Each structure stands twice: as C-alpha cells, then as structure tokens.
Amino acid sequence: MPVFDFNNTPEEGKTPECTYTVFYSSEQEASTEHPMLVLDNSKGKLQHHSIGVFTNPVRRTAFEFKGEEGTVSADILQIDARFVSLLKWMGENHINVRLSGADREDGYAVYKIREIAFGGGSKLSAEDGFLQFMIERLLTSDAPSEEIPDEDEEETGDSMKLTSIQSITDFITCAGRTLPDNIRLWARRNLAVARSHEVSAEERRHAQRALSIMMNIQWKGNYFQAIDPKEARRILDEELYGMEQVKQRIIETIIQINRTHTLPAYGLLLVGPAGTGKSQIAYAVARILKLPWTTLDMSSINDPEQLTGSSRIYANAKPGIIMDAFSMAGESNLVFIINELDKAASGKGNGNPADVLLTLLDNLGFTDNYIECMIPTVGVYPIATANDKDQISAPLMSRFAVIELPDYTPEEKKVIFSQYALPKVLKRIGMQENECTLTDDGLDAVIDLHKETSGIRDLEQAAEHLAANALYQIEVDHVKSVQFDEKMVRTILS
C-alpha cells in the first residue's frame, strides 16, 4: 500500500512521492540481515535505541526522534510488506517507540521495535505486550501477495456494509423505487421503529439489524442471460465423467432460459446412490448459471424455525438459515442446493421442515419470521439431492424435474480410477505418475473388489491406499517405482 511523503507540506499541485519500497520476506526472526524496515541514516543522526514516533503516513513516511539539535526526521527507505499496516497504525496513533538496529550500506536496519512510555503519547498496552504480540505474529506470517492493489479498485463500494441508521436512511432515499415496492415500504416502517423513542431499545436493535440485512442484499429482477450449451457441457464434463444421458437432461432443463430469459419453472432433483456425483452436478449448474450458491443440509435441520427464523419478541431472536443465505450471497438471485431432501420430513421439533421448503420452491415469495417481510424468490433456483426418492413427499416431488443418476458401470469405474482418481491422489501427495502404476489385472482387481459399491468414493479411497503404499516403499525401501499386480492389490485392499 503506497504511503506518500508530504515533507514540509509540498507545494500545491506537486505530485507526492513515495519514500520507500516494499520488500517481501518470510523470515521468522528479524535481524540486521533481515530487518523489519530500513531508515535513511545518511546524516548519521540515528543511534542505537533512538526514541521517537513514526509520523502519520498520510503526510509523511518517516521516523521522528529527538537529536542534539532538536527533532530529527529519518525517511523510511524500505519496509517488509508484512509490517506496512502496523507502522501505519503506530503513526496514526502516535505510539512512542524505541528502535534497535544497525547501520548498513543501504541505511539503518531496524530489527527490534519496543513501545515505551515517553512524552505523554498514546500506548497500545500497559506493558508493551500488544506490540510484541503483533510483531511476533507478523514475523510468523507468510509474506502477502506481491500484487499491488489498484487504487481505483480500493475505492469501489463492494465491501461497503450498511449498518448505521444514517447510512441505511441515505441508501433508502437514494435507491427509491429501484427497490421492490413491498421491501421499500417495509424499510420505511422499520426505519421509523429504529428511530423511535417510544419503543424499547430491544425493538430498535432488532429493527436496525433487520434493515441492515435487507438493505445489504441486491434485489435483482428475474431476467437471466442466455446460456451457451457448449460451455454448459464443458463445465459438466469437468465435474462428472460419463452419464451422457444425465448431462443431456440437465442441459435440456436449464437451456429453457434462452427462450424465456427466466429460470425454469421447476428445479432439479438429483436422485442416486451415494458417491455418484450429485453434489458435483449441483455446483456445476451454479457455475453454468453464474450464480452464487448456498447449501441446506436437511439431515441436520430438525425444526422449521431453523429455516424460518424466530420472532422478534424474543431477545435472542435471529433470522433463519434461508435468510442468512440471501445475506451471505449479497443478492436475491442464487442457487439453493438442498442436500438429502429425502430427510426433510424427519423433523424432531415443532413441525415439518419440508413444509417450509414448499414456500421457497413455489417462487411466490418467502417470509422469514425475524425479517417479517415477503422475500421475492423469482431468482432462486433450487437443486435438491436425495438417495431415496420414495421418502420424499408428493408435494415436494411435484416442484422438481427428477433426474435419476445410475451407478457407474465397471468400464466407467476403470476409466475413473485410472484417469481421474489415481492421478489426482498422486498429484496431491507429490508423486510422479510413473512411480505408482497398475497392471491390467491389477486394475481389474480394484474394480472387482468394489463391484458391490455405489459411486466412486470407495474407488478414490482405494487410490489413496495404493498411492500411500507405493510412497512408503519408495521412501523406506528405496525403490524407484511400484507397479501393483492383482495379487498385490488384493493383499493391500482386501
């Protein structure tokens, strides 16, 4: 982050000049050879244990200290990228410090910074503890990216969050009718509550929190750009091997967007044995639609209130998981991946979580008990996964286009194991492909041992087991490579 030298208040129109360069280091101890920063000591004024302050980086990048002839300023010439923010903080807060360092040809190399009580300045901590904690933490941190942030990019509002009443008020005023009508009217009512002194502090807090959540979501329309079928197919091929009919059916379902420029009337329900790639397909569809995605794990939801939130009459009230998903995505158009839909009807609380999903899937709007406003869901595309569709209620099934994923054939499993699973494992653990290979009968043995298993997770675990065994032999027995035949495979995996 550039910090500029406004030495002696530069003349109007003069371009500020950065006084230092940033270097990148991952050294875990500071020393003369690996300092935290280097100061200009061409005048020879800096001494060991000089005491002073870093000047406010907004106007100058220097260290000011008391010399025999008054205040002396030494420009910062170099700084470890890990310490830029810390020095900026010390400068802004006028923290008095004592520097330890040594002269080098390129300047005074600082390898220790201690906070001291001197001259009535601010202190970070009573015993220098915080500053030393921060320095030790920074020294053990990796160097940040060497990419220099774009100054214009830093000024964008992507990271802006509306939290204060003033910022929320200004936003509502500026947004005007670009907000959906019901949300705009809801916001005005809640803003009145948040400002009112006739309600309890608890009610005002809830109203402000609800406003912050709703106003930080970008409420989009239901218009969607056309989808490139070839790109959609490429993404599906990246995530899933084989299953040509399944991929074709998925593309046929979502390609309707090209005619209507709206989402299909029905979401996708992917049914199949565990490990057949249902979740991977769901993530691939989110990529195809270019939408953020969130997951709902129905096996862990026992009470409808987890989805719908709790009423504001309770002190510890909060929004539900569905509203949280909108908030985290930052927009109203997103993919809801509903895992294990067949377990949605097994709630153990005060109702059935499956009933809540019906309102989300109907695209008529969803109401959270905490927000107390109907949330438009026209931009929500649901993708559900299930192992057993017989456990799903008829009303839920009617909201989806059902696609059944068959188990992989033995030939498909061979290709998946040899061309995907094993190479991926070898790459992850740093092995070359020629260090761990299988004979034809060895590959047949792997598939035979897993003929009764569904999906490919067991194949991936088998690849992990064989690769680990090969690595052991290479490292301990000092062989150059290992080739597994049928007998070796059955001995290791049985």
* pLDDT for residue 138 is more than 70: yes
pLDDT bracket for residue 11 (50, 70, 90): very low
Rounded Cα–Cα distance for residues 202 and 194 (Å): 10
What integer pLDDT is reported at residue 38 of this predicted model? 92
Query: What is the tens place of the pLDDT at every residue in 34-78?
Result: 999 998 888 877 877 888 888 765 555 788 887 777 778 888 889
In this predicted structure, what is the pLDDT of residue 194? 92
pLDDT at residue 2 above 50?
A: no
Contact 222, 180 (CB under 8 A): no
| 465 three-state secondary structure | helix
Q: What is the pLDDT of residues 246-257, one digit of tens each?
A: 888 999 999 999
DSSP state of 390: G
d(CA 293, CA 268): 14
pLDDT digits (tens, 9 = 90+) for 307-345: 889 998 888 899 999 999 899 888 889 999 988 888 876
Has residue 279 got a pLDDT over 60?
Answer: yes
Q: Are strands 4-5 and 17-18 parallel, antiparallel or unpaired?
A: antiparallel
Grade residue 14 by pLDDT with cuts at 50, 70 and 90.
very low
pLDDT at position 89, please? 81
Q: What share of the chain is helix, strand, coil (3-state, %, to 5)?
A: 40, 20, 40
Lowest mean pLDDT among 8-12, 143-147, 361-365: 8-12
Rg over alpha carbons for the chain, rounded to the nearest Å, is: 31
> pLDDT band for position 206 (50/70/90)?
very high
Least confident piece of the model among 126-130, 324-328, 467-471: 126-130
Locate 200 and state its tokens. 């309890």
